[in-house]
């Protein structure tokens, strides 16, 4: 009789373990089936929406890859630089993959997974003026266009050591138009973005040796406190960078741009 009771207890333990394992499998997924993702509307090579609504760029390819890996279908929603935190706080987007640089002010409001890309501040000028600009000092007294709410605006005012006139627009395309209209002398933002803009406009030039300011660390934004999702995205980003897919996406979207200095170490991503 004792042996029978012992057998019953062992069977009960096995069944309990199986039930617990089944519960773990049946846990709800981390992300819903559909996820609104904040995307840049006018950053060729990184995040671009064409006239017909089609999208392209490194950030767009990365967004789709993350969706496949984490089990959701991304829906791209245009966000301006100045509206990214607000979109996450109000819930109109659940992720932002839009050349979103980490800084202390933003960290107070947003969780960041990454970084997945490095760059630094640069300038774009009219091709006819490219011989005027050799060093950062050549911007002294010039009028420079930036996008509202970007780190570029702050750096132009604080990192140069000499005065420039800063004009703010909603998107880079408006700055590019202002440059061609001779309303500004230069456009300034992250140099990778400028190389992307140069792809679609033969009448502009990006002086490759003019860089300044802090290193920009593109990361993926999530609502503040959303630690579990942030950690899941960070793990996937480490795989993405280490696998070689990062290099493929970079070459496909930013051809002729050197990889050196732009690719993070997958083993040194920030903790959420």
Q: What are the angstrom distances between the C-alpha of 52 and each of 39, 48, 75?
A: 16, 11, 16
Using a pLDDT cut of 90, give the percent of the chain over it: 75
Note the CATH number of domain 120-214.
Answer: 3.40.190.10
For residues 59 and 46, the answer to whether their CB atoms sit within 8 Å is: yes
Q: What is the mean pLDDT of residues 237-257?
A: 96
Which residues have C-beta within 8 Å of that of residue 70, sequence separation ≥ 6? 30, 31, 232, 233, 236
Statement: residue 22 has pLDDT above 50: no
Q: What are the pLDDT digits (tens) for 152-173? A: 888 898 889 999 999 999 888 8
Statement: residue 23 has pLDDT above 50: no
Q: Provide the CATH topology of domain 34-119+216-268.
A: D-Maltodextrin-Binding Protein; domain 2 (3.40.190)
Statement: residue 12 has pLDDT above 90: no
Alpha helices in 170-219 (DSSP H): 172-180, 191-199
Predicted pLDDT at 1: 45
Residue 194: how many other CB atoms lie within 10 Å: 27
Q: What are the pLDDT digits (tens) for 131-147? A: 999 999 999 999 999 99
Predicted pLDDT at 191: 94
Intrachain domains 34-119+216-268 and 120-214 with the same fold? yes
In this prediction, residue 9 has a pLDDT band, given cuts at 50, 70 and 90, of low
Q: What is the mean pLDDT of residues 237-262?
A: 94
- Average confidence score pLDDT of the chain: 90
Q: What is the mean pLDDT of residues 86-109?
A: 96
Which residues have C-beta within 8 Å of that of residue 121, sequence separation ≥ 6? 152, 155, 159, 188, 189, 190, 191, 211, 212, 213, 214, 216
Predicted pLDDT at 17: 47
Q: What are the angstrom distances between the C-alpha of 76 and each of 61, 145, 230?
A: 11, 26, 19
CA distance 106 to 101: 9
For residues 121 and 212, the answer to whether their CB atoms sit within 8 Å is: yes
Statement: residue 24 has pLDDT above 70: no
Q: What is the mean pLDDT of residues 9-23?
A: 46
Domain ranges for the chain, please list them. 34-119+216-268, 120-214
Statement: residue 21 has pLDDT above 60: no
Predicted pLDDT at 27: 59
CA distance 137 to 161: 9
The beta strand positions in 70-152, using DSSP E, are 73-78, 95-101, 110-126, 143-147
Q: What is the mean pLDDT of residues 213-236?
A: 96
Query: 199 or 168: which carries more pLDDT confidence?
Result: 168
Predicted pLDDT at 167: 96
Q: What are the angstrom distances between the C-alpha of 224 and each of 17, 63, 92?
A: 36, 20, 14
In this prediction, residue 25 has a pLDDT band, given cuts at 50, 70 and 90, of very low
CA distance 26 to 124: 53
Predicted pLDDT at 200: 87
Which residues have C-beta within 8 Å of that of residue 156, sequence separation ≥ 6? 144, 146, 164, 166, 188
Predicted pLDDT at 150: 84
Which residues have C-beta within 8 Å of that of residue 64, sequence separation ≥ 6? 74
Q: What are the pLDDT digits (tens) for 32-85? A: 999 999 999 989 999 999 999 999 999 999 999 999 999 999 999 999 888 999
- The token duo for 81 is 């630089």
The H or E element that residue 36 is part of is strand 34-39
């Amino acid at each position: 009789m004792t042996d029978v009771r012992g057998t019953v207890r062992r069977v009960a333990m096995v069944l309990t373990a199986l039930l617990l394992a089944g519960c773990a499998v049946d846990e709800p997924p981390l992300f819903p089936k559909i996820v609104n993702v904040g995307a840049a509307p006018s950053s060729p090579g990184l995040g671009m929406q064409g006239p017909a609504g089609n999208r392209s760029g490194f950030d767009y390819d990365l967004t789709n890859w993350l969706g496949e890996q984490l089990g959701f279908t991304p829906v791209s929603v245009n966000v301006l630089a100045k509206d990214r935190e607000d979109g996450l706080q109000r819930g109109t987007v659940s992720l932002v993959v839009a050349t979103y640089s980490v800084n202390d002010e933003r960290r107070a409001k947003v969780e960041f997974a990454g970084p997945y890309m490095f760059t630094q501040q640069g300038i774009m000028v009219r091709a006819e003026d490219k011989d005027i600009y050799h060093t950062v000092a050549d911007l002294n007294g010039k009028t420079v266009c930036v996008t509202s709410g970007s780190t570029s605006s702050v750096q132009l005012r604080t990192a140069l050591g000499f005065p420039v006139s800063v004009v703010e627009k909603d998107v880079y395309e408006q700055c590019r138009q202002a440059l061609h209209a001779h309303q500004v002398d230069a456009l300034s933002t992250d140099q990778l973005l400028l190389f992307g803009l140069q792809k679609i406009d033969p009448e502009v030039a990006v002086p490759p040796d003019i860089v300044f300011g802090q290193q920009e660390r593109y990361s993926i934004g999530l609502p503040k406190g959303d630690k579990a999702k942030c950690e899941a995205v960070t793990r996937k980003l480490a795989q993405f960078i280490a696998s070689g897919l990062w290099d493929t996406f970079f070459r496909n979207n930013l051809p002729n741009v050197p990889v050196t200095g732009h690719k993070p170490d997958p083993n040194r991503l920030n903790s959420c």
